[in-house]
């Protein structure tokens, strides 16, 4: 018996957007549920017990089966729906290269999100504090990660080969947030023209702009000085110097 996929996500989340675009690109039918990250719905114990003990999104629910972590969700969808092979590879070497990127991503480029998060969202959660250490660590990790992307794009059209893969969606949506918040601008693009060309190529895909619409709007709000009301009290603070609970 076929079950309806439920995709729990929030459109400001980089990993959520990568999975969302993968679903749309491959015309996989699903129902979506927006999880309110602003009021801390995902931090409630009931939510964690039901869906994900870490409280993170995205989450995919397929009948009684629940899976979280964006590469794991996309891998499951790839196995179940058999989209074009370029997304997760056809040969053993292609598959390994894409998995290699996904593992690298979690420890490098994803951790660079601290530059964006602590520049624009920390104040909304914890108020006016000194977040310079967190911003600097995120910035360092982001800049370091860009050198790796540049190297891979010197060898291939996309990060894992000559066709787009899920790894490209992961990386692309990280950079979309940094563009929205002007963490990345002309200075960085001039240093990394290959990355800019790759970024622009993916931006031209039909689903890229719609999936990114909300984060671009949120970035514009924060750049204009508008605070976004948030009652949540925690953050994963990936790759930063923050001590859990220090601002609560």
Model confidence pLDDT, tens digit, residues 164-185:
999 999 999 999 999 999 999 9
Cβ neighbours for 10, distance < 8 A, ≥ 6 positions apart: 16, 34, 35, 36, 37, 57
The owner of tokens 């729990």 is 8
Find, among 240, 188, 178, the residue nearest to 215 by Cα.
178
Least confident of 117-126, 194-203, 208-217: 117-126
Q: What is the pLDDT of residue 243?
A: 55
Q: What is the pLDDT of residue 230?
A: 85
Query: Quick check: helix, strand or coil at residue 148?
Result: helix
pLDDT above 70 as % of the chain: 93
**Domains in the chain and their CATH numbers?**
5-84 (3.40.30.10), 87-223 (1.20.1050.10)
The C-alpha atoms of residue 102 and residue 132 are separated, in whole angstroms, by: 28
Give 17-51 pLDDT, tens digit per residue.
Answer: 999 999 999 999 999 999 999 898 999 999 999 99
Q: What is the value of pTM for the model shown?
A: 0.94
Least confident of 5-9, 134-138, 217-221, 239-243: 239-243
Is there a contact between 153 and 159 (Cβ–Cβ < 8 Å)?
yes
Give the torsion through C-alpha atoms of 154, 157, 163, 165, to 10 deg. Answer: 60
pLDDT above 90 as % of the chain: 87
Q: What is the pLDDT of residue 239?
A: 42
Find, among 115, 120, 106, 133, the residue nearest to 188 by Cα.
115
Give 114-156 pLDDT, tens digit per residue.
Answer: 999 999 999 998 889 999 999 999 999 999 999 999 999 999 9
Is there a contact between 121 and 38 (Cβ–Cβ < 8 Å)?
no
Q: What is the pLDDT of residue 21?
A: 98
- The interaxial angle of helices 70-81 and 14-25, nearest 10 deg, is 10
- The rounded Cα 175 to chain-centroid distance in angstroms is 9
């Amino acid at each position: 018996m076929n079950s309806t996929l439920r995709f729990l996500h929030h459109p400001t989340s980089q990993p959520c957007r990568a999975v969302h675009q993968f679903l749309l690109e491959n015309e996989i039918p699903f129902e979506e549920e927006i999880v309110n990250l602003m009021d801390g719905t995902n931090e409630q114990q009931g939510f964690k017990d039901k869906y994900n003990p870490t409280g993170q999104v995205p989450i995919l629910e397929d009948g009684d089966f629940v899976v979280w972590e964006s590469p794991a969700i996309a891998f499951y969808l790839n196995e179940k729906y058999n989209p074009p092979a370029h997304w997760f590879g056809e040969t053993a070497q292609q598959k390994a290269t894409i998995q290699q990127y996904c593992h690298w991503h979690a420890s490098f480029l994803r951790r660079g999100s601290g530059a964006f998060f602590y520049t624009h969202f920390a104040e909304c959660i914890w108020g006016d504090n000194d977040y310079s250490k967190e911003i600097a660590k995120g910035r360092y990790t982001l800049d370091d990660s860009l050198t790796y992307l540049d190297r891979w794009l010197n060898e291939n059209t996309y990060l894992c080969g000559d066709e787009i893969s899920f790894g490209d969606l992961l990386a692309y949506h990280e950079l979309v947030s940094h563009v929205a918040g002007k963490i990345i601008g002309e200075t960085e693009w001039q240093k990394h023209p290959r990355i800019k060309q790759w970024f622009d190529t993916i931006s031209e895909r039909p689903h890229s702009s719609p999936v990114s619409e909300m984060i671009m709007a949120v970035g514009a709000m924060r750049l204009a000085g508008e605070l976004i009301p948030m009652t949540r009290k925690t953050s994963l603070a990936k790759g930063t110097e923050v001590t859990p609970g220090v601002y609560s």
